[in-house]
Amino acid sequence: MRSKRMWIGVLGILGALSLGLTVAQAGVSDIFGTDHDLGTTAVPTCMQCHTPHKAKGPYLWARDFSAVYPSLTGLMKLCFSCHDGGVTNVGEFMVAPGIVNHEVNVGVEGEDCDRCHDPHVDNWKFVTDTAIPTEYRNANLCSACHTGDIGVSHPLVETNKPIDRVWNPYASPADFSGTRLFNAAGDTEVPTGTGNIKCATCHVPHGSVDAVGLNSMLYVDPASEHSPICENCHQ
């Protein structure tokens, strides 16, 4: 009897501890100190995006949806109420005609933009910590979900091989072609010298030149028998 009670006690403490850990691990207030911490003393951070009453839409949205791109659907409406150039032009290139983005299931929770992003978390590129394990919150993000389906793959090694290693949708004109190299952690681009090949060297989730593989250069060039993405490093 006594030992049974003791075990219940121990389990209770463990349960409380793990609950405590869950709360500490990820929470909406991780937003403070990030680029999404846009609060002022008059309009605090949460209020920039949420309002308890008279909300403009789902998630008690405090903002009007994009005036610049009114036809957007799902979470894009929320994100682009700022990312349409009104508050920031970061990501605005994604909605230009002809731009290829990673598939989302519009309006389905966890499969829309929130498949990969959570605007509250203090992670690289606001990558969600719900679906993406820590080791993939970087330029190897694709591996969090596509491991089984790609099998034996191109090595992810250090090199200075690429001829064109600049991929920059913000350049003028926009440069959507090149294979970038990254630091070992995969959270910073390395523009010169040796750097590491990561999934994001050959792939981009936004602004791909190839709808099939989301590649950053063509693998199958319909105009020739060449593979520009391979020949960018292997001449």
Given candidates 66, 123, 179, 196, which one binds ligand HEC under the rule CB under 6 A? 179
Q: Over the Cα atoms of the chain, what is R_g?
A: 22
The sign of the dihedral angle between the CA atoms of 103, 105, 185, 153 is: negative
Given candidates 69, 102, 168, 221, which one binds ligand HEC under the rule CB under 6 A? 102
Q: Is position 138 an interface residue for ligand HEC (rule: CB under 6 A)?
A: no
Q: Is position 99 an interface residue for ligand HEC (rule: CB under 6 A)?
A: no
Given candidates 66, 77, 81, 196, which one binds ligand HEC under the rule CB under 6 A? 81
Contact 159, 195 (CB under 8 A): yes
Contact 121, 35 (CB under 8 A): no
Contacts of 200 (CB under 8 A, 6+ apart): 139, 140, 141, 142, 180, 182, 186, 216
Q: Is position 121 an interface residue for ligand HEC (rule: CB under 6 A)?
A: no
Residue number with CB closer to ligand HEC (219 or 221): 219
Q: Is position 59 an interface residue for ligand HEC (rule: CB under 6 A)?
A: yes
Looking up tokens 């150039």 gives 85
Contact segment (CB under 6 A) with ligand HEC among 7-15, 17-25, 206-214 equals 206-214
Q: Is position 218 an interface residue for ligand HEC (rule: CB under 6 A)?
A: no
Contact 163, 201 (CB under 8 A): no
Residue number with CB closer to ligand HEC (17 or 135): 135
Contacts of 141 (CB under 8 A, 6+ apart): 116, 127, 132, 199, 200, 205
Q: Is position 42 an interface residue for ligand HEC (rule: CB under 6 A)?
A: no
Q: Nearest distance from residue 191's CB to ligand HEC, in Å?
A: 13
Q: Is position 209 an interface residue for ligand HEC (rule: CB under 6 A)?
A: no
CA distance 98 to 109: 26
Residue number with CB closer to ligand HEC (12 or 20): 20
